[in-house]
Structure 1
Amino acid sequence: MSDNFAIAATPQAHAADIEFLVRRGMTKGYQIMSLLAPPLYSAFALSRYGRAQFSINRVLRATWVGGSIGIVGGGAFEYVRSAYSNPHKVRARRIQAAYDTGSIRADDHSTIGGILLAVLTPAVFWKRASVANLILGGAGIGSAIGLLAHHGRTVTGDPAPRVRIPENPVSGQP
């Protein structure tokens, strides 16, 4: 058990933990901003410019730009949070994130939705938007729909199974 503690206390292990958590923060930032960007942009555009200036192209562009901002913001937030924290606490957060089946299932649903709508959105709205906005915006909207599907499954009585986290020798307890 002391060998695991010695390995976990190395700077390389701390850097790997930070990398894992930054990637997770980027994923969560993309999912949340892809969920929030379309309704926020639609409300802003309709109240500010009216229905005449509202278009599918602009909503799709706002979706992928919002998702990009979420990637940068989520990654930066998680880096600052993790890089300047105690390595033992960062390791414990990484282990907890690795065993969080609800979060893993949300990521899976989000990925599936993103891939599906990245393909289906150009097929449906081909003449209404540019190709880049169709693919990237469709992926963002699909990611948001996948995230909503995960939360819908959880609310309707199909929660992700709980996994017991194994003993954590890194928490400082012998």
Structure 2
Amino acid sequence: MATPTTQDADVQYLVRQSMSTGYQTLSVLTPPLYTTFILMKRGRGAWSLNRLLRATWVGGVTGIAAGGGIAYGRYKYSTAELVRQRRLDVAYDANRIRSQDHSTIGAVLMALLTPAILWNRANIVNLILGGAGLGSAMGTLAHHVRTLTEDPPIKAAAVIANTK
């Protein structure tokens, strides 16, 4: 069994961050795209809350897989210096951290509130997972609206001690 290197740890970190970004992105895009597609293709009678919630969480899972796969393919075969620098950039990006915080808070709140409010309107799995997807989308959108209307967050600089 091969021992993991520092580059492997950096690649794993970047893949996890890209999976999170993929989930956020497709959670934002899936509900309006799904609704538009269904209304244009099949009409108003084919749209249902259960299907929208299912499409939302399936879109989020697709975003996780796509984000992780793309990041793995990109960073696995990059140089160790490039991967290390990218990891430091991602780890200290206050804007990304704030976006993920808003997304997580929204996902947890909506995963709890959606089943409580819409109990008999959809399958419980779709209520919980779809609610989390909608909450993640709302949190991500709230972050972007907040970023546009307020001062940008302060950029933190990575401090690396010179051990030579």
Q: Above 0.5 in TM-score?
A: yes
Shift of 1:157: 1.2
Shift of 1:160: 2.0
Q: How does 1:3-152 map to 2 (within 5 A)?
A: 12-152=5-145
Return closer, same or farther for 1:168/1:35 CA change in 2, 3 Å cut-off. Answer: farther
Aligned length: 161
The whole-number CA distance in structure 2 between the counterparts of 1:159 and 1:150 is 11
The whole-number CA distance in structure 2 between the counterparts of 1:120 and 1:134 is 9
RMSD: 1.6
Shift of 1:165: 2.7
1:28-76 superposed Cα distances (whole Å, 9 cap, x missing partner)? 0000000000000000001111111110000000000000000000000
Structure 1 counterpart SS, 2:10 = helix
Q: Which runs of 5+ in 1 are unaligned?
A: 1-9
Q: Which runs of 5+ in 2 are unaligned?
A: none
Shift of 1:105: 0.4
Structure 1 moving runs of 4+ over 4 Å: none
Shift of 1:87: 0.8
Taking structure 2 as the reference length, what is the TM-score of the superposition?
0.94
The whole-number CA distance in structure 1 between the counterparts of 2:68 and 2:38 is 28
Q: Percent identity?
A: 53
